[in-house]
């Protein structure tokens, strides 16, 4: 019953889609019903593709099951190899840890030196600011003296 209904629906959608395609080729404006027919045809095509894909997936699943059997055999061999590699990796990690510790010590020492340089630069900046203030005071004093001398000379 469902098969007959599906075939009838496919035929109706096919005929309706032909009508919509004809309207599109004539450049006519599509109505909502036409859009619905186009969408139904699209859905029908997608369902057909899904059915085909499901069949392919079933075949692929059988092949995958066969491969899993081979993988299990290969995994046993790989476990042995992995154990050997893990031993080597542990040795390398120990060497890396030792190098990391040495590098961290060097970095800490370098950071201490950088901090000392920044302290010296900060002190130098403070000294420069103080010198600038002194120079401004001297400049003001010289301007005052200059003004006094000019005033005295203009009074004579």
Contact, 27 vs 9, CB < 8 A? no
Per-residue pLDDT tens digits of the chain, which is 156 residues long: 667 877 777 777 777 778 788 888 888 888 888 788 878 888 888 988 999 999 999 999 999 999 999 989 999 999 999 999 999 999 999 999 999 999 999 999 999 999 999 999 999 999 999 999 999 999 999 999 999 999 998 987
Q: Using alpha carbons, select from 5, 108, 34, 30 the residue that is nearest to residue 116.
A: 108
Q: Using alpha carbons, select from 17, 54, 21, 50 the residue that is nearest to residue 36.
A: 17
């Amino acid at each position: 019953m469902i098969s007959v209904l599906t075939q009838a629906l496919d035929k109706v959608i096919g005929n309706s889609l032909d009508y919509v395609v004809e309207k599109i080729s004539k450049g006519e404006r599509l109505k909502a019903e036409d859009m619905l027919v186009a969408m139904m045809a699209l859905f029908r095509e997608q369902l057909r593709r899904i059915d085909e894909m499901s069949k392919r997936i079933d075949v692929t699943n059988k092949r995958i099951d066969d491969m899993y059997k081979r993988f299990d055999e290969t995994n046993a061999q790989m476990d042995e190899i992995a154990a050997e590699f893990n031993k080597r990796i542990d040795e390398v990690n120990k060497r890396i840890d030792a190098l990391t510790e040495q590098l961290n010590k060097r970095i800490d020492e370098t950071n201490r030196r950088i901090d000392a340089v920044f302290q010296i630069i900060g002190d130098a900046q403070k000294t420069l600011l103080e010198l600038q203030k002194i120079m401004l005071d001297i400049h003001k004093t010289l301007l005052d003296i200059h003004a006094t001398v000019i005033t005295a000379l203009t009074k004579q």
